[in-house]
Amino acid sequence: MRKRSRRFIIIGISLSAALLMGAFWAGSILGSKEKVGSPPQTSPDAQPDAQLPLPSPASSDVSQLLLSIQTSARQGKVSSQFPFAAGTSVFDEVEKQLGQPAQTRYANGLTYAAYPDQRLLFGYNKGMQIVEIRWHDPRVQKLSLSQVKQAWGEPAQVSHYANLIVFTYPVNEKVQLRVGAPEPAAANPDPPLDHIGVLYPQGLRNLMAYGSSEELITIVRDMAKEGRGFGTDFTVEHTGLETVEKDWGKPDAIDFVNGIGYAAYNGRGFVFGFNKGEQLVEIRSYDLRLQELTKSQIEKTLGKPAAIHTLQDQVILVYNATDKYQLKVVFPAPTREVPDPHVDHINVFYPRGTVNFMAG
């Protein structure tokens, strides 16, 4: 039996190159509150080609660096010193110039390849198209969140992945500039950046696997009927945490809330809930492909949910996949600026497995 942790441990993307090789995706470890981590969204009135404002001249060096970042991002690049661009480059070009990656891992429908010497992380799809690039440059890590906001204004979306906060700025109709930093805290209210990145959302759509959003939603529903979370063969009720650890290794973090353990695999974008017998009772998937779906698309395909829960800044649609399993689809709460939010994550839930039969 695992001992209850004294505090809620959260592990995100590290500043060090060594952990960069291990943490390819930052998911959210969820306890009593579902944490926001939705994809970038823009106001329906926003102009996709609108340019980010020029940096304020508080510091010429900072201004020049921020201007260089946004200029490169408009080309799908993290820096002009690298020729690789999200959406237009293929991974073969990276290997030709940088050689074989130090490590690779599959998540979100993408293969992530780490080059710690260059502090670069590439995500590419099945067509070898580069979809995401992250850069952990030391110069970037001297910038702060307040400097970013002063230069570029409020982000179009704020996301939370583990202990990382991500600001997203759409720089054109195809590419998003993403800025990641540790979550602000009382001891560090204006943290330095962890990385910058560019994302080409269209590249997340594997048209050969999913012909439409409706087809993807149907697949998610059908997997939930089997107790499976999207992107894994593990199932609630029939899989134990020991099996997950045997295949994937030890989780990045474990916490216990109300007698249920939560094991987070940040590099794979999954959180598994397990009971005292270590039977899986929840599977949460943060796959980026799911985060391209909207609330209206879910409701159109799956119909009226059995229940709707509102939890602070989130809305959860609950569907009964079978008489034993539930499919929960979690969104940020709709706002005037974003009336039709994108999926944050999905949760396949086995309610019976949460009953503590040993109580009393």
269 band by pLDDT with thresholds 50, 70 and 90: confident
What is the Cα–Cα distance from 31 to 311, expressed in whole angstroms? 13
> Quick check: 163 and 12 in contact, CB under 8 A?
yes
Percent share of the chain, pLDDT over 90: 55
Q: Are 317 and 308 in contact (CB under 8 A)?
A: yes
Token pair of 133, please? 């690039």
Is residue 264's pLDDT more than 90? no
Distance between CA 335 and CA 176 in Å, rounded? 21
The pLDDT assigned to 30 comes to 35
Question: Domain locations in the chain?
Answer: 36-204, 207-354
| Cα(155)–Cα(356) distance, integer angstroms | 44
Cβ-count burial of 149 within 10 angstroms (0-12 exposed, 13-18 middle, 19+ buried)?
A: middle
Instruction: Please write the tens of the pLDDT for every residue from 142-193.
Output: 999 999 999 999 888 777 665 678 888 999 999 999 999 988 888 999 999 9
Contact 279, 240 (CB under 8 A): yes
pLDDT recorded at residue 2: 56
SS (HEC) of the chain: CCCCCCCCCCCCCCCCHHHHHHCCCCCCCCCCCCCCCCCCCCCCCCCCCCCCCCCCCCCHHHHHHHHHHHHHHCCCCCCCCCCCCCCCCEHHHHHHHHCCCCEEEEECCEEEEEECCCCEEEEECCCCEEEEEEECCCCHHHCEHHHHHHHHCCCCEEEEECCEEEEEEECCCCCEEEEEEECCECCECCCECCEEEEECHHHHCCCCCCCCHHHHHHHHHHHHHCCECCCCCCECCCCEHHHHHHHHCCCCEEEEECCEEEEEECCCCEEEEECCCCEEEEEEECCCCHHHCEHHHHHHHHCCCCEEEEECCEEEEEEECCCCCEEEEEEECCCCCCCCCECCEEEEECHHHHCCCCCC
Q: What is the pLDDT of residues 322-349, one digit of tens each?
A: 999 999 999 988 888 789 988 988 999 9
Structure tokens belonging to residue 290:
């799911």
Cα four-point dihedral sign 188, 192, 195, 196: positive
pLDDT score of 212: 81
For range 221-249, the mean pLDDT: 95
Tell me how far apart the terminal alpha carbons of the chain are, to the nearest angstrom.
18
Rg (CA), the chain: 20
pLDDT at 49 over 70: no
In angstroms, the CA 86 to CA 94 distance is: 12
For residues 242 and 151, what is the distance between their CA atoms, to the nearest angstrom?
48
Would the pLDDT of 38 be above 60? no
**Residue 199: closest CA among 171, 233, 235, 241:** 171
How is residue 75 written in tokens?
Answer: 């080309």
The pTM for the full model equals: 0.66
Contact by Cβ (8 Å): 29, 255: yes
Q: What is the pLDDT of residue 203?
A: 87
The CA distance from 262 to 256, in Å, is: 6
